[in-house]
Structure 1
């Protein structure tokens, strides 16, 4: 536009050197180099790290020239190692042919580039009817590279199926280094996303979920560094897998110092029978390299999720109220209407009715599967409540658990064969419920039908989509050699239902929940708008949960509630401001019993909701900096900076005074050093340079445990000379 400088052109996403077969994938901060070797029938990784000139990348040798008959020549450097030949690492592709043989002998077919940013490298077995394509894509903006693989049975109808034993999305080879450290999250129900960093062991380290869903105990991402990186400095390599099914990430470290990450859908024993003419496409594995530490990796993933994963990443999420902790299963039209009026008075924008609204649902032992309004509690149906919520100026949402059924339900009595089961085994009930087989089209058609009727007939704007138990007795309907593929096909059925619903109702927004944070991944985020981080709403525990969650996922998808004190799960007492400040670090929700709040609590909550609305654009769409990690000192602090650096928000918590000592000023990040920033509450002004070099003087915190503060700084003028 006239009067505005033109942004400098970014790097060309793909460059090639035909003579050497070298392909260079570029992002602003990284360079990924692979080389097609037609003689060896494979592709080698040459470099992944800081940018290199094309000429240098084409001239670099492949580190695969050692002469060791006990190690594979390509171990650690092959882009997509198959089982066969002198390969002794984890295979990306392993099969079993009809005659029982398994080795593959690849032949490189060629390279195809489409749209300027999508590279396809093709292979086939030299004698057997199997081909595979490695796909690489560089999204238009950001520092993330996407990879996936397509595997095709190329035989005719008279050929036998090929059994896929392993079918990874990608192998990400890393450079040779003396030391490697692995970062990942671990946990359990109500204790998800606990960040851990430890030296990567020699051999193979596997992170996995065998549960049929993403899981609470690990999450499908991993980061590797050389042991010296911190939040702002050091090289870090990371990958995340876009699947909500069972999954497996294997980090490998060789004796020579090579490392790599194999990213795969499914877990061991989940096999796929590939018939002639059929194609299997893996989920996307997204990866990034940053020279700017763990914070740099997070910035790349946050931007990627908002721009390229979420259906509506540009939207600002509303303030939500959920009725579960106020009414549990005792929901009815009267108490929900009362809560809705109280929530609207606080400034809430989305009112969600939780469990208990449907037929037979007087406790958790019955009703799942019978998705019509409870006749006694909602004799007029849900529409009058929805209309009242809309009249109050809020959107209307409901809790659903479409993938589950109680044995005490009309659905189960009519269709017991729809659950995951094995004919000669008793079905295991967990939480008094069973899992419906979403790999079956008749089941997903049923789910889509009643969900469409619910959303349309009851004017629903928002679904909290829950999933409250893992798979047991999981075999595909009809059995067969790949009966366990339900561990991946169930999630694909879920995706089809969500995709159909969102196409029919563009206004509909969805929150992913699985007993808390058991389904948080790039696959589900491509079809939902936010995730329920954990059933643990304790504001102190949440600091640790949210720290781990933020390593890959942005604040705009992290739902976080303010609930009552003492906390219903932990019994911990915390003041309202501390609870609000913790929840304001993501998408603010309220889940307390508003009918019991005092006038003082209601007044403070109203003020804090209004404050959140003032800062949420920065929190949800700005760049996040983890200034002080929870548990590593007396304070925890996080900062958000607007894209234009005009505003910044700093949240500070002191969970306990037991180890309290005077703390240095907080050195802020991402500000314009030449500008001055004014504290919105105190009027104090500081230059961006001072706030970065010296730091923000700590605001006074209230006395005692669980104290917190929120600081808003807005650019006021250019800095003085």
Structure 2
């Protein structure tokens, strides 16, 4: 069986299964980036392999550009896998004595089920591919202003949002799009990485000083690969964009793609970014990329090298990342491409976490994060609590469920906490306290998928500490039903000869006795209470979009 992770903007990395047949099948991208549509990871599994048993082989391409992963089954039922740069539109001219280095592919094999395969990828990507200061450190809890304000902000409104976030325990305030040049909408300003003095009279340095005065770190949004034609950069260098001479150019989100295959373009963007970063005390950069590449033609390359442009572009992106990392080794980089459009192993080498999807609805995120987990560690998954009704699907999801999904990732808030009621603010404070107490386990523990959103109404997953003394289970129900039978979730990864206390996220005892690990793994954890599955210890009962966290602590030593 061929497993791929496909979708589109806002519904990235959904699991798709196909039976391998004689002939060729493949996934790939020719969009100039790995894309929202198909991820450069494929898994082959035996027909009866599941999460806990059976043989599986994973193939991941460590690359962020155009790619192809292809399986060909011959007439003797032998399968051949091909993974690399997509051949369509690609050519590389080598002069005598020159060399070309192709992207690397990583393969992992197991005979112990898909969870074990994923854990192998998690260890490899999280502890070997990712690198630098933040690789093994729990990630700061942040508040991003984008969904709270979009372009409608000034310095005082930002400080007000940050002040409330600090009261709730947030550690990092992130200023998103709109702070630079003539950027009052998405039609102008990209490419001019200079603070707008009308919005920020003291610049980024002045704002960061005020944010730090609140006792918080500060982060900043850039989209370094893009430019608006209404910008000083474009007016000075109209030939710095990718475009085909004599043809009307294509734009997306009113922006054009800078030609990162040219060193002088990368140098200019690097200099502008360094001027901001040298002047301000920043600890985080969100690097966005909000459109695919079209008109992939460079003014700097001769005709017989134009098919090198797309690959040279990605090398330029990697070069800018590398130079910034060398200069600012303590800054945490989060990659983003309209959400999950460049969530790939190649990008993890430079940015240890990525914005998982622009779709921040908790119910949608169950499928997105579940699919992502097949290859990528939880420490790489950017996940935030956003407002309701959700801006992407207009769904109203309870605050506790939004947080219970986001905590299985880097965790943050994508809203103005000043807009919440007092009782909601207290929930947020408790969510942040819980995350601070448990984030090392949540982000770096051994992860297990338990129940798939692609197969039913209930999603469940869990993390277990290396010594098997602690575990956290996430349980999520999409729709409520009346008078249901007793439901259980069989847990994984516990020590069979230890007893565990089981608590809900509100630190209420869930069972009066401490079950043994083998009981929880073979009989399961009971997840139903009452006629419609409510938790008896809550002050409020929820129906649709409910969720629960279970905290397990070992109370007896291993036999």
Q: TM-score range by the shorter chain?
A: over 0.9
- TM-score normalised by the chain length of structure 1: 0.73
Match of 2:256 in 1: 434
- 1:280 match: 100
Cα distance, 1:563 vs structure 2: 0.6
Q: In the alignment, which residue of structure 1 is the partner of 2:76?
A: 256
Which residue is equivalent to 1:463?
285
2:388 corresponds to 1:568: no
- Residue equivalent to 1:712: 551
- Choose which of 210, 219, 225 in structure 2 pairs with 1:397: 219
Task: Choose which of 46, 61, 65 in structure 2 pairs with 1:241.
Answer: 61
Shift of 1:253: 0.9
Q: Which residue of the partner structure matches residue 295 of structure 1?
A: 115
Within the candidate set 110, 133, 136, 1:314 is matched to 136
Q: CA deviation at 1:699?
A: 6.0
Q: What is the deviation of 1:665? A: 2.0
What's the CA shift for 1:193?
Answer: 0.7
Q: Spell out the pairing of 1:296-695 with structure 2 (5 A cutoff).
A: 296-311=116-131, 312-476=134-298, 477-658=300-481, 661-680=484-503, 681=507, 682=509, 684-695=513-524
SS at match of 1:708: strand
Structure 1, 199-208 or 543-552: larger mean CA deviation: 199-208
* Cα distance change of structure 1 residues 632 and 449 upon mapping to structure 2, 3 Å threshold: same
Q: TM-score, normalised by structure 2?
A: 0.94
- The alpha carbon displacement at 1:266 in A equals 3.4
> Secondary structure of the equivalent of 1:307?
helix
Question: Cα distance 1:481–1:410, how it changes in 2: closer, same or farther (>3 A)?
Answer: same
CA contact (8 A) 2:57 2:109 kept: yes
Q: What aligned pairs does 1:695-710 form with structure 2 within 5 A after superposition?
A: 695-698=524-527, 700=529, 701=534, 702-710=541-549
Q: Please identify the structure whose Cα radius of gyration is greater.
A: 1
Contact preservation (8 Å) 1:699, 1:709 = no
- Please give the per-residue CA displacement for 1:562-611, whole angstroms capped at 9, x wherever unaligned: 01111111111111001110111111110012221111111111111111
1:78-122 deviation line (CA, Å, top 9, x unaligned):
xxxxxxxxxxxxxxxxxxxxxxxxxxxxxxxxxxxxxxxxxxxxx
Tell me, in whole angstroms, the C-alpha distance in 2 between the residues paired with 1:699 and 1:237: 36
1:555 Cα deviation (Å)? 0.6
Moved more, 656-665 or 244-253: 656-665
Question: Residues 486 and 528 of structure 2 are in contact (CA less than 8 Å); yes or no, is this contact kept in structure 1?
Answer: no
Secondary structure at 2:100's aligned position in 1?
Answer: strand
Mapped to 2, the partners of 1:491 and 1:349 lie a distance apart of: 33
> What is the rounded CA distance, in whole Å, between the counterparts of 1:670 and 1:638 in structure 2?
11
Higher mean Cα deviation, 655-664 or 703-712? 655-664
1:605 partner SS: helix
| Aligned equivalents of 1:522, 1:369: Cα separation in 2 | 27
Equivalent residue, structure 2, for 1:185: 5
2:22 counterpart residue number: 202
> Residues of 1 paired with 2:381 and 2:249: CA distance?
34
The CA deviation at 1:347 is 1.0
Displacement of 1:479 in angstroms is 3.0
| Counterparts of 1:719 and 1:490, CA distance in 2 | 54
Structure 2 unmatched runs, 5+: 535-540
Distance 2:294 2:395 in 1: 35
8 Å CA contact 2:442, 2:463 repeated in 1: yes
Aligned partners of 1:656 and 1:705 also within 8 Å: yes
Q: CA deviation at 1:659?
A: 8.3
Q: For 2:159 and 2:151, how far apart are their aligned partners in 1?
A: 15
Shift of 1:513: 0.3
Distance (whole Å) between structure 2 residues aligned to residue 637 and residue 525 of structure 1: 26
The 1-side partners of 2:316 and 2:167 are apart by: 40
Indicate conservation of the 8 Å contact 2:72/2:81, yes or no: yes
1:478-511 per-residue CA deviation (whole Å, 9 max, x = no partner) reads 3322312221111111111111111111111100
Paired residues, number: 540
Q: Structure 1, residues 629-663: CA drift from partner, whole Å, max 9, x if none? A: 11422311111001111110001011101588334
SS at match of 1:393: coil
- Deviation string 1:12-68 (CA, Å, 9 cap, x unpaired) is xxxxxxxxxxxxxxxxxxxxxxxxxxxxxxxxxxxxxxxxxxxxxxxxxxxxxxxxx
Matches of 1:323 and 1:429 in 2, distance apart? 26
